[in-house]
């Protein structure tokens, strides 16, 4: 059994004391920022990227991955106790989780979320271990035209699955692609869009874009609201769900896990989409559909399982194809590049320790989360009472330190501020920043592959439709765009994303 | 003609400016090349043209379809937060971490709804101790701790 050998190798790496510590730090940090509303994994990972310079690549990636799936656990705590999504993927957990808490069943709701997440985490880890290697093998045969078409598909899918206006999302992708081209053109050595600024010769720093568009813009937008956070501090009560509860949640957890895993693999997918999808599905198939929105335990179990599964399987396209499926994965690519690792299918064969170590650490991280989180819930609740006016200056200090340490140059702080401004404008104009980040990462890669493909085909643009794999990617992209543009499906898509907390 | 959807209108303007502007810069300054051997201008011009065209659609649509107004800009948090970032960047070297963090904390705190001197001061002290211990001592980032003028007096 090759997979067992590989997993053994992975656990050997992940169980080293230092990597275990990094995994623990990652999941704790992830839970922390998951619990705190207004601080997301994108900003946190961006903040920590510069610090990972000095770490060993495996340890760095293990920690960053832990932040992402740890945030899914933490987000549900806030959703259930405060009726605020600590994490965007916990929005649907608010609906029924908070209602359960109001009825004095906060304990079982929290436990259900943790159990569902843990089960989903185990299954998703296995799925990653099983499906990533064959996919990477296929990907090794990809030429430039296949890669180009795959990136088109990835970007189209990201656009289709983003909420809000379709055309604006496409524009944001294009803008991201163009911003990614700033700097020295590798083929000709020409400096593009640098306007005589020597700091732009290497391009715009990825971390500054992510921190500005997500971190700064988020803080500014949060400060607009004069919100008072009402923490549901009544005692959590006994944690364990009853036998009756278990009977009701096992099927939703299973369905949520598999739906979440499938949606996580899709380009543009991930935790957010998975939780929305699972909640909608559960509402359709459940016997207790009438209880949804009034504290149905199924409405907590399914989306929580799904978002954790989705968070983990979204690593598959990253690890096998080197293509990010959402903004967090784009940051992971950034982290790999910082470490001098070219993301792509060769990672698995050239650096099996990294690949399998990361997979094993995901399972260990999930175990840590479920063991640590329930006992620590009291502490997380206390944290929720920290007012935002204390929180945001602290976040800002860490962001500034992180950005400045990139190259010890004030210019990076200036760029972060500029992208903060752009991000704020985009918030006001309802343009999603996530597609921009994806485009930004893929811009240079797309140009490179387009050039190579066109060179090989002697300038014939139809080459993309002549190779079967490439043609399939493009046709799927076109079908997706056409389908989503049809009026009644567009209406459905909008409905899925306006499931407001009640 | 009246603008019916201000959000679409301004988004359209922004995308036209970016797409059109960058395509124009690329077209005038860099080599276009051919489809076989693409020059540095080829891909940006292609992207810029599509972006500009889509922006134009948004722009045109904003006169036909009704949409919500652009939500109010809150300049206070915007200016103070951005200023805090710039202050950190440009004053870290002359003022050291002690001075730069002071600027970030106080400037950003002014951007919020309430400002309590005592609370912000305590927050600053906590943050500066944490930053020095974790970032400078722990992670060995090469940041000066003290202002450069009195550097000799405070070696830790």
If you average pLDDT over residues A330-357, what whole number do you get?
83
ipTM (interface predicted TM): 0.91
- The rounded distance, in Å, linking the Cα atoms of A69 and A128 is 14
Chain B CA closest to residue A178: B44
Tell me, yes or no, if A187 comes closer than 8 A to chain B by beta carbon.
Answer: yes
Residue A352 has pLDDT above 80, yes or no: yes
Which of B36, B123, B131 minimises the CB distance to A458?
B36
With contact defined as beta carbons under 8 Å apart, do A110 and A297 qualify?
Answer: no
Q: What are phi and psi of A176, to 5 degrees?
A: -60, -45
- Residue B86: alpha-carbon gap to chain centroid: 10
SS3 content of chain B, % helix, strand, coil (to 5): 70, 0, 30
Residue A223 has pLDDT above 80, yes or no: yes
- Interchain contact, B19 vs A174, CB within 8 Å: yes
Among A182, A151, A190, which Cα is nearest to A453's? A151
Distances (CA, A) of A190 to A133, A202, A355, A442, B19: 39, 12, 36, 19, 20
Which of A187, A392, A413 minimises the CB distance to B108?
A392
Residue A429: its chain B contacts at CB < 8 A? 7, 10-11, 14, 70
Tokens of A417: 């501020």
Which of B22, B36, B43 minimises the CB distance to A455?
B36
Smallest CA–CA distance, residue B135 to chain A, in Å, is: 8
Beta-bridge partners for A4:
none
- The rounded distance, in Å, linking the Cα atoms of A102 and B117 is 37
Model confidence over A84-109: pLDDT tens digits?
766 677 778 888 888 888 887 888 88
Model confidence over B92-106: pLDDT tens digits?
888 888 888 889 888
- Interchain contact, A178 vs B47, CB within 8 Å: yes
pLDDT of residue A500: 42
pLDDT of residue A417: 93
Residue B8: its chain A contacts at CB < 8 A? 165
Model confidence over B137-154: pLDDT tens digits?
777 777 887 777 776 666
Q: Which of A49, A178, A214 to mutate to test the interface with B (most CBs of B within 10 A)?
A: A178
pLDDT of residue A331: 83
- The rounded distance, in Å, linking the Cα atoms of A406 and A301 is 41
Q: Label residue A197 by pLDDT band (50, 70, 90).
A: confident
Tell me, yes or no, if A447 comes closer than 8 A to chain B by beta carbon.
Answer: yes
Side-chain-facing half-sphere of A213: CA atoms under 13 Å: 22
Residue A484 has pLDDT above 70, yes or no: yes
Model confidence over B53-62: pLDDT tens digits?
999 999 998 8
Beta-bridge partners for A192:
A183
- Interchain contact, B82 vs A393, CB within 8 Å: no
With contact defined as beta carbons under 8 Å apart, do A156 and A325 qualify?
Answer: no
With contact defined as beta carbons under 8 Å apart, do A172 and A422 qualify?
Answer: no
What ranges do the domains of chain B cover?
A: 6-64, 75-153
Q: Which of A152, A192, A229 to mutate to test the interface with B (most CBs of B within 10 A)?
A: A192
pLDDT of residue A271: 74
- The rounded distance, in Å, linking the Cα atoms of A13 and A395 is 32
Report field, pTM of the whole predicted structure over 0.80:
yes
Model confidence over A488-499: pLDDT tens digits?
566 665 555 554
Which of B8, B40, B142 minimises the CB distance to A192?
B40
Smallest CA–CA distance, residue B146 to chain A, in Å, is: 15
Among A287, A305, A289, which Cα is nearest to A247's? A287
Chain B CA closest to residue A216: B81
Chain A CA closest to residue B139: A51
If you average pLDDT over residues A354-376, what whole number do you get?
85
- The rounded distance, in Å, linking the Cα atoms of A76 and A81 is 8
- Interchain contact, B140 vs A54, CB within 8 Å: yes
Give the residue, A428 or A228, on which the prediction is more confident: A428
- The rounded distance, in Å, linking the Cα atoms of A290 and A298 is 12
Give percent above pLDDT 90 in chain A: 6
Q: Label residue A267 by pLDDT band (50, 70, 90).
A: low
Average pLDDT score over chain A:
82
With contact defined as beta carbons under 8 Å apart, do A120 and A128 qualify?
Answer: no
Side-chain-facing half-sphere of A4: CA atoms under 13 Å: 1
Smallest CA–CA distance, residue A329 to chain B, in Å, is: 24
Model confidence over B7-29: pLDDT tens digits?
889 999 999 999 999 999 888 88
Q: Label residue B49 by pLDDT band (50, 70, 90).
A: very high
- Interchain contact, B47 vs A177, CB within 8 Å: yes
């Amino acid at each position: 059994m090759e997979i067992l050998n590989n997993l053994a190798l992975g656990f050997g790496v992940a169980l080293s004391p230092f990597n275990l510590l990094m995994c623990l730090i990652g999941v704790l940090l992830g839970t922390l920022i998951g619990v705190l509303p207004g601080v997301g994994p994108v900003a946190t990972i961006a903040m920590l990227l510069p610090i990972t310079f000095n770490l060993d690549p495996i340890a760095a990636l293990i920690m960053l991955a832990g932040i992402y799936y740890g945030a899914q656990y933490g987000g549900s705590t806030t959703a259930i106790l405060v009726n605020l999504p600590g994490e965007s993927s916990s929005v649907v957990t608010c609906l029924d989780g908070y209602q359960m808490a109001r009825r004095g069943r906060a304990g079982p709701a929290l436990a259900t979320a943790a159990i569902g997440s843990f089960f989903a985490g185990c299954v998703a880890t296995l799925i990653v271990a099983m499906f990533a290697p064959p996919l990477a093998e296929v990907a090794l045969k990809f030429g430039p035209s296949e890669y180009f078409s795959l990136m088109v598909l990835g970007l189209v899918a990201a656009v289709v699955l983003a909420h809000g206006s379709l055309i604006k999302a496409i524009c944001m992708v294009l803008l991201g692609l163009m911003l990614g081209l700033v700097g020295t053109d590798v083929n000709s050595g020409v400096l593009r869009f640098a306007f005589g600024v020597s700091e732009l010769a290497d391009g715009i720093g990825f971390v500054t874009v992510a921190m500005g568009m997500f971190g700064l813009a988020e803080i500014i937008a949060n400060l607009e609201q004069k919100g008072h956070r009402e923490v549901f501090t009544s005692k959590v009560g006994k944690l364990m769900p009853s036998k009756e509860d278990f009977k009701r949640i096992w099927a939703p957890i299973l369905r949520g896990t598999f739906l979440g895993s499938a949606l996580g693999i899709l380009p543009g997918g991930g935790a957010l989409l998975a939780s929305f999808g699972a909640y909608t599905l559960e509402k359709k198939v459940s016997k207790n559909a009438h209880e949804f929105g009034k504290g149905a335990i199924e409405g907590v179990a399914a989306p929580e399982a799904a978002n954790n599964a989705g968070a983990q399987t979204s690593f598959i396209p990253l690890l096998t194809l080197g293509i990010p499926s959402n903004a967090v994965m784009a940051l992971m690519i950034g982290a790999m590049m910082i470490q001098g690792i070219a993301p792509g299918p060769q990672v698995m064969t050239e650096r099996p320790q990294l690949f399998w170590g990361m997979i094993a650490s995901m399972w260990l991280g999930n175990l840590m989360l479920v063991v640590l989180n329930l006992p620590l819930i009291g502490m997380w609740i206390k944290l929720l009472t920290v007012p935002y006016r204390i929180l945001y200056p602290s976040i800002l200090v860490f962001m500034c330190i992180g950005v400045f340490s990139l190259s010890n140059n004030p210019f990076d702080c200036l760029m972060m501020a500029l992208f903060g401004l752009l991000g704020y404008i985009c918030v006001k104009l309802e343009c999603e920043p996530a597609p921009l980040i994806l485009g930004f990462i893929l811009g240079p890669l797309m140009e490179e592959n387009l050039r190579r493909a066109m060179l090989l085909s002697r300038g014939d643009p139809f080459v993309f439709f002549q190779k079967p794999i490439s043609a399939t990617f493009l046709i799927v992209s076109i079908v997706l765009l056409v389908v989503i543009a049809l009026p009644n499906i567009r209406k459905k898509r909008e409905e899925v994303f306006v499931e407001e907390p009640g | 003609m009246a603008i019916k959807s201000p959000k679409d209108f301004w988004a359209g303007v922004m995308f036209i400016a970016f797409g059109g502007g960058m395509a124009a810069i690329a077209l005038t300054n860099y080599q276009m090349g051919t489809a076989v051997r693409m020059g540095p201008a080829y891909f940006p011009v292609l992207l810029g043209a599509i972006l500009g065209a889509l922006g134009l659609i948004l722009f045109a649509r904003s006169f036909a379809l009704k949409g919500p107004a652009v939500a109010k800009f809150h300049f206070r948090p915007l200016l103070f937060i951005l200023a805090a970032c710039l202050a950190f960047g440009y004053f870290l070297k002359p003022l050291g971490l002690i001075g730069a963090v002071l600027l970030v904390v106080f400037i950003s705190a002014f951007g919020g709804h309430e400002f309590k001197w005592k609370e912000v001061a305590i927050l600053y002290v906590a943050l500066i101790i944490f930053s020095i211990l974790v970032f400078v001592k722990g992670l060995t980032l090469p940041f000066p701790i003290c202002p450069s003028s009195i550097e000799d007096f405070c070696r830790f």
